[in-house]
Structure 1
Amino acid sequence: MHRAYLFLLLCNLLWAGNIIFGKLVTSELTPLWITFLRWFIAILILVPITQLLERPNWMGILRKHWRPLALMGIFGGILFNGLTYIAITYTSPTNVALISALMPAFIMIFSVLFLHEKVGITQILGLALSFFGVVFILTGGAPYQVFQTQYNLGDLLMLVVGLCWAIYSILAKKLSHVTPLTATTISSCFAVLFMLPFLPFSPVDLVQVTTMGWVGILYIGIFATVGAFVLWNISVCELGASKSSISMNLVPVYTGILTIFLGGQLAVSQVIGGLIVFGGMILTTNLVQFGLVHKKTVRNLHNRVG
């Protein structure tokens, strides 16, 4: 169980790096080509690794589960990533990371509706606390101005991205009997196949891509795709979609840290908001498992609320 939480911490760090590199790469390649190269690189690594470690019955799995795997490729491979890169061209990496904090809310709602997962009072409170932390960051320490903020096309697209990720996470949970590595590999292949027919309509000159651009593509393909998606799917299978989703509130925090590391600056409100987000994540992931809260205390709290 603790391994899954560690995987989530690392997974979201890799995704924060994807946002930083994504902003760089979108100046040299179209979102479609970035998404295609991301998954093409990924399957070059995933297919041999999966065959070596698990030796799955490829055709048997495809015959039985091709529909949900294909949908995972569409929603998690193409739409989630492609729309994110489009959003980055209109808004800042910080905004992309901050708005992504709405994804846990989508996933929690979908998990209750379609997976019948039970959501406790601590999860609801943790989600609310984390979301407040993100609003605190987004509004510069003035959350009462949240409805006065003007959002651009990139911000709105991130809302659609959140819905796509919620659908992907639900599909991953329903495929819990297919190993995370195999599911990621097959859905990646579907994503690449589905994008192939559209590449000629988005021509690019790969020769003109700079060295830093290729470094960004390699990072996105290897670490933000192979590493992050496998870690995510393992965690979803062990913890459930709603619990795992709360950790995505760490992406804005990680993005802020990376911004400082790269020479940028953070406001005091971003630091305070980041701490609130982290506190909400700890609360939601069930403090009982870490021995920080006695089980009887949680039971009493649930009884009072119920």
Structure 2
Amino acid sequence: MSDRLSALLALIASTMLFAASYTLTKVALVDLPPFTLGLARFVLAGAILALWAVVTRQPRPSRADRRRLLAAGLLGVTAYFAVENVALQWANATDAALLVASYPALTALADAAVNRRRTSAVAWLGIALAGLGVSVIVVAVPDASAMTPMRLWGDLLLLVPGVLWAFYTFITTEVTTSPLLTITWQDAIGGLAFVPLALLELPRWHWPTQPSSTLAALAGLTLLCSIAAMVTYARALRGLSSTTVVTGLNLVPLWGLVIAASFLHEQVHLLQLAGGLIVCLGVTLTALKPAGVVVGA
């Protein structure tokens, strides 16, 4: 198997695993409050990866990298997933899968604003199209009665992680530590930072009403989404251009819709699909004429 084909397969696998996280999170949230779920997911992932780092005698990151990893763990793990988990209490998994397609465009927009990078007219058009697509996704639902005020707030809140991811990306581009060791430190730091947030939910802790489903969802989030997805994504980044990877991330909404429809039986309006396609088109234009930053999922 050629190196490029292997990287392409890794990219496809990572998009499937990233997309599965929204459905798995919805299942786990039935029994676990959002911050408690974040704590369990990332402490477990961090512990597994830390064991790997010890067994394989991975080098300790430099002092400068440790500062960056601390910031990245707090921003890209704790803050990102705290907001996402809260939003998914109210929004549908299909909404999340479609809205996440706008994150690369949000990163490009933040990069242009914060780092003052020159942005081409084509990239601005792509960002504008992504914004239009997001508006369509939020407004168009299969049944007007299904758009409750809480679902609307959940959809809007799902845009916040996109901004957080942009700043997380800016930090991690400066890290020189290997990708897997970077993930190890970030998951461990981010998981531990969930402890005070999870303690706020202590009155909501209870024995699971559906223990098998909850444990399976937590295992999937930990092993598949927090570890395997990031490993395959890192493999794709090593074998493909950043433009190919960013464009390939447009598969996340497609897989997300298929998984949510299959397991949660969520309905999707044709207008929502159209909005998702508009977002993907906008992100593709932004990737073809980027604002100078490589983004992730």
Scaled to the shorter chain, the TM-score interval is 0.7 to 0.9
What CA RMSD, in Å, does the superposition of the two structures yield over aligned residues? 3.4
Q: Secondary structure at the match of 1:29?
A: coil
| Conserved 8 A contact 1:75-1:164 | yes
Corresponding residue of 2:67? 67
Pick 1 or 2: higher relative contact order, CA cutoff 8 A, min separation 6: 2
> In the alignment, does 2:173 pair up with 1:181?
no
Partner AA of 1:213 in structure 2: T
> In the alignment, does 2:108 pair up with 1:105?
no
Corresponding residue of 1:80? 80
| Conserved 8 A contact 2:94-2:257 | yes
1:11-44 deviation per Cα after TM superposition (whole angstroms, max 9, x unaligned): 2321221111111211211111110111122123
Taking the TM superposition and a 5 Å limit, the aligned residue runs for 1:123-202 are 135-140=135-140, 152-175=152-175, 177-202=176-201
1:57-98 deviation per Cα after TM superposition (whole angstroms, max 9, x unaligned): 22xx15232221011111111111111110011222222223
What TM-score, normalized to structure 2?
0.76
Cα separation, partners in 2 of 1:232 and 1:174, compared to 1, 3 Å: farther
The structure that is helix-richer by fraction is 1
| Conserved 8 A contact 1:246-1:284 | no
Partner AA of 1:189 in structure 2: A
| Conserved 8 A contact 2:19-2:252 | yes
The percent of aligned pairs where both chains have the same amino acid is 23
CA distance in 1, matches of 2:10, 2:127: 20
Cα separation, partners in 2 of 1:250 and 1:184, compared to 1, 3 Å: same
Corresponding residue of 2:37? 34
Corresponding residue of 2:223? 222
Partner AA of 2:50 in structure 1: V
Cα separation, partners in 2 of 1:230 and 1:115, compared to 1, 3 Å: farther
What TM-score, normalized to structure 1?
0.74
Which of 54, 58, 63 is matched with 1:56 structurally? 58
| Corresponding residue pairs, total | 275
Cα separation, partners in 2 of 1:50 and 1:115, compared to 1, 3 Å: farther
CA distance in 2, matches of 1:117, 1:56: 36
1:200-240 deviation per Cα after TM superposition (whole angstroms, max 9, x unaligned): 33221356551101100100111111122334455567645
| Conserved 8 A contact 1:46-1:185 | yes
> In the alignment, does 2:18 pair up with 1:15?
yes
CA distance in 1, matches of 2:12, 2:122: 20
1:146-184 deviation per Cα after TM superposition (whole angstroms, max 9, x unaligned): xxx977321232122111111112222221x21110110
> In the alignment, does 2:63 pair up with 1:89?
no
CA distance in 1, matches of 2:193, 2:246: 27
Corresponding residue of 2:145? none
Partner AA of 2:171 in structure 1: L
Partner AA of 2:98 in structure 1: L
Cα separation, partners in 2 of 1:247 and 1:75, compared to 1, 3 Å: farther
| Conserved 8 A contact 1:100-1:249 | no
1:105-150 deviation per Cα after TM superposition (whole angstroms, max 9, x unaligned): 2211234456677766665555555655555555549xxxxxxx97
Cα separation, partners in 2 of 1:270 and 1:9, compared to 1, 3 Å: farther
| Conserved 8 A contact 1:12-1:251 | yes
Corresponding residue of 1:255? 256
Q: Secondary structure at the match of 1:70?
A: helix
Q: Secondary structure at the match of 1:90?
A: coil
Q: Secondary structure at the match of 1:174?
A: coil
Partner AA of 2:102 in structure 1: L
Partner AA of 2:74 in structure 1: I
Whose radius of gyration is greater, 1 or 2? 1
